[in-house]
Structure 1
Amino acid sequence: MSASKKICAGIVLYNPEIELLKKNISILEKQVEKIYLFDNGSSNNNEIKNLFNNKNEISYFFNKQNKGIGYGLNWLINRADENGYTWCLTMDQDSICSDNLIYEYKKHLKDKRVALISPFVLNNDKVTLNEYNNMKLPEVTEITDPMDCITSACLTNIPIVKKLGMFNEKLFIDFVDSDINCKVLNNGYRIIQINDAYMIQQMGKGHKVKTFEWLFNKTHKNIFRRLKVATVYTDQRLYYSSRNSRYIRNTYKDHGRRTGLGFMFAYYCYFTLFYPKNRSRFSMWKAIIKGFKDYKELGD
């Protein structure tokens, strides 16, 4: 089997925006021979099913109950493995990858220590496509921080991930990617970022912070680039973020700076200052504190 036939793609769905999903899949169809869709209980599942039902290259599975991103990712990995694939590209439903993604990834499949391959991420307009095109980036960046690789548009080495215990289903959502990255890096495997390919991602609802946007335009400092758009999460997402980040830093010795207690506290303070005014800061922090306490329920 050639390298191209070893690669499939998979998407975990939950109430996706149909037009964006269609665009996502139309780009993937040109790059892989098979796409698996795992639906975590979407209310618009009939529309999704009718959209892709007659395409042999797309396999759709509907799960009545939302069991979280980890469960969905494991389903995709297991299904890909059963059908003879050794690599699976995992995509978010609302992310769009470049049309050269798999072409660039295939250049780096021979190294048996490579477990995950990711693209350059254009996140919430913190880096625009025009800015990316004008950057002078190395062909490959070695990822050493578990927070620097996300599951969306990540090409996953199926045998290695299965060997390491797969994705953690207990986390449900948030830091599922950090958990698998910690397993990969802590066991001596590699994560590489291919900068000649990109992925456009929308995390939450981006809220522009005019002060930092002005500072970035004046200084072009990367710290202000990161701060110029605040990702607006629901209180439920803040709960999972707090709970799961504590799990990560208490489970792995090398968990990365951006899962540390100090960083996470500063992160939530940033949200408190720059979230839209109609958000209840009390309910936000109530969710964050509850998540911090509930970490113990995850067990070992």
Structure 2
Amino acid sequence: MTASTDNVVLIIVLFNPDLDFLENNIQKLKDFSVICVNNTIDKKNNSDINKNIKKYQHTTIINNNKNLGLSKALNIGINKSLELNAKKVILFDQDTLLDVKKIKDHLNMFDSIDDPLMVALGASYVRSKKDKPYFMSYGLFRKRMYQQGSKKIIQIHSAITSGLLIYAPIFRYTGLFDENLFIDYVDIEWSLRIRRMGFHLYGNFNTKFIHTIGDEVFSVLGKKVPIHSKVRFKQLMKDFKYIATTQKKYFWFVFHEFIQLFLRSALLVFIKIIHFLKLKKSDA
């Protein structure tokens, strides 16, 4: 049975997107209603984005003319979806490679889950086709949850924004995304919040999207660690400070994330030292 695409809205937040990549994604999605929430500031870029998108009748663009942040932009898209009486919304980042078959399979999986408290289904993500997808568990120990045998879905603690399929009316009970968070932890905070309210979130190993996380990836003790740019890392720390100081109910997540950020900061310093030594050696 194929899931209906009626009353399904796809929301994509934009900020200086690659226009060719964006248009390639948009033109695939003719079976869906698509809302693009545009945080791009530059007037020339905005003009090009609107020119490329407005020719597709299935797509609506909302121009903010400034960078309102991810959470605010998502909420604008969600509110517009609710005005359109959407029953399901699927959130995507602008750098996720979209595949219509995968999206429809994701919808089918959502409809097949027999759990009255299930309100959202996260897609698994990979950086390349060779990567093994996983979801994160936050408890006394932080761990990666990999697929066990042929099991396609698993109840999870959180899912990343891109590929997150949500039963839209639930926002009237849970509230929207926390706009105090600019870009990081937006998805995690909402995921942990709905779980505390008694709702269930599942992860779908069967649907994998290729998605970029961080600017570079380094392998440390066999694990791939995303390294963000200096500006992005500064914003990440600001968002973490908000979570750590105001959301004490997420103690274990904050505890583990603090350790992760400390190790990542140390790794950045180490990388800079190695880079400096290489430059010094080449100049000798």
Give the TM-score of the pair, scaled to structure 2: 0.79
Distance change >3 Å, CA 275–CA 95, structure 1 → 2: farther
- The one-character-per-residue Cα deviations of 1:76-105 (angstroms, maximum 9, x if unpaired) are 100000001021111000111343223233
1:278 and 1:183 mapped to 2: Cα distance? 41
Distance change >3 Å, CA 154–CA 240, structure 1 → 2: same
- Say yes or no: does 1:253 pair with 2:249: yes
SS at match of 1:192: strand
**Pairwise CA RMSD of aligned residues?**
2.6
Alignment of 1:7-22 (within 5 A): 7-22=8-23
What's 2:32 paired with? 33
1:7 and 1:238 mapped to 2: Cα distance? 34
- The residue type paired with residue 101 of structure 1 is I
SS at match of 2:263: helix
1:199 and 1:181 mapped to 2: Cα distance? 19
Kept in 2, the 8 Å contact 1:97–1:198? The answer is no
Cα drift, residue 170 of structure 1: 1.7
- Say yes or no: does 1:167 pair with 2:163: no
Distance change >3 Å, CA 235–CA 53, structure 1 → 2: same
1:24 and 1:276 mapped to 2: Cα distance? 40
- The one-character-per-residue Cα deviations of 1:50-73 (angstroms, maximum 9, x if unpaired) are 112122100012111111111100
- The one-character-per-residue Cα deviations of 1:119-176 (angstroms, maximum 9, x if unpaired) are 12103x4x626x67xx8552102112x3xx1111111222223322211112111111
What's 2:191 paired with? 181
- Say yes or no: does 1:139 pair with 2:152: yes
Distance change >3 Å, CA 20–CA 247, structure 1 → 2: same
- The one-character-per-residue Cα deviations of 1:24-46 (angstroms, maximum 9, x if unpaired) are 3234x05x420001101342111
2:72 and 2:152 mapped to 1: Cα distance? 33
What's 1:88 paired with? 89
2:263 and 2:154 mapped to 1: Cα distance? 27
- The residue type paired with residue 104 of structure 1 is H
Alignment of 1:1-300 (within 5 A): 3-27=4-28, 29=29, 32-43=31-42, 44-98=45-99, 99-109=101-111, 111-123=115-127, 125=128, 128=130, 136-144=149-157, 146=158, 149-209=159-219, 212=220, 224=222, 226-227=223-224, 230-250=225-245, 251-254=247-250, 256-257=252-253, 259-274=256-271
- The residue type paired with residue 25 of structure 2 is N
Identity %: 19
2:69 and 2:231 mapped to 1: Cα distance? 13
- The one-character-per-residue Cα deviations of 1:182-206 (angstroms, maximum 9, x if unpaired) are 2111111111111111111111222
2:197 and 2:179 mapped to 1: Cα distance? 20
1:161 and 1:267 mapped to 2: Cα distance? 34
Give the TM-score of the pair, scaled to structure 1: 0.75
- The residue type paired with residue 246 of structure 1 is K
1:182 and 1:166 mapped to 2: Cα distance? 13
